[in-house]
Chain A
Amino acid sequence: NAGVTQTPKFQVLKTGQSMTLQCAQDMNHEYMSWYRQDPGMGLRLIHYSVGAGITDQGEVPNGYNVSRSTTEDFPLRLLSAAPSQTSVYFCASSYHDRGGYGYTFGSGTRLTVV
């Protein structure tokens, strides 16, 4: 099925560990974004990309790195996990010319840092 695929669905990390959250889309969307969702805080933008080789920071970028080497993939790297990064992470993709209209979300990665 076409859409946005996130892996893993669940992950537990120890403080200081690093890991990569994977995101892949098969809709040939230009735009891809990473959000984190915490209770009472809504969806907050971490990083986004408007095309292969182009990335930019969102509202809460500290502690995360991204790269976009292909149109399909947009991995999110946690450099040194901290308990404050315990959250649900969503990846989304979109066509540019639709503004926000065409955003498709993945099913999320639930991350716990202990």
Chain B
Amino acid sequence: QKEVEQDPGPLSVPEGAIVSLNCTYSNSAFQYFMWYRQYSRKGPELLMYTYSSGNKEDGRFTAQVDKSSKYISLFIRDSQPSDSATYLCAPGSNQAGTALIFGKGTTLSVSS
């Protein structure tokens, strides 16, 4: 089993839809859970960051972590064409000497 599993999509939705993006992970040592957004031909940028289990909301975006099932989600409300991008999940730990491992990314297209 890979450390981080993410459905690559692609996912196409109309403007205004609610989008749900999901990842599963295998390492119970992960404590930090990040979502990165990557526009075409650009480097990834940090979108959301949560620590341990629970929800975190930032505008139209909500990140949700369930450590008991090793499942992380990103919800986008009122999706906009500008949300069209690839979304990568990345769980991390405080363990010294490790680097971040990413999911394969889900490509989202929001049509107007």
Task: Identify which of A40, A103, A105 contacts B8 (C-beta below 8 A).
Answer: A40
Is A25 interfacial (CB-CB < 8 Å)? no
- Counting chain A residues whose Cβ lies within 8 A of the other chain, the interface size class is 20 to 34
Instruction: Across the interface, name the chain B residue whose C-beta is closest to A88.
Output: B41
Is B49 interfacial (CB-CB < 8 Å)? yes
Q: Per DSSP, are chain B's interface residues mostly helix, strand or loop, or mixed? A: loop
Question: Is there an interface contact between B31 and A99, defined as CB atoms closer than 8 Å?
Answer: yes
- Counting chain B residues whose Cβ lies within 8 A of the other chain, the interface size class is 20 to 34
In the bound complex, how far is the Cα of B91 from the Cα of A51, in angstroms?
A: 21
Residues of chain B with a CB closer than 8 A to A99's CB: 31-32, 92-94
Is A22 interfacial (CB-CB < 8 Å)? no
Residues of chain B with a CB closer than 8 A to A96's CB: 96
A71 smallest CB distance to B (angstroms): 16
Question: Is there an interface contact between B49 and A108, defined as CB atoms closer than 8 Å?
Answer: no
In the bound complex, how far is the Cα of B32 from the Cα of A98, in angstroms?
A: 9
List residues of chain A with CB under 8 Å of any chain B CB.
4, 31, 33, 35, 40-43, 45, 48, 50, 56, 58-59, 90, 92, 94, 96-101, 103, 105-108
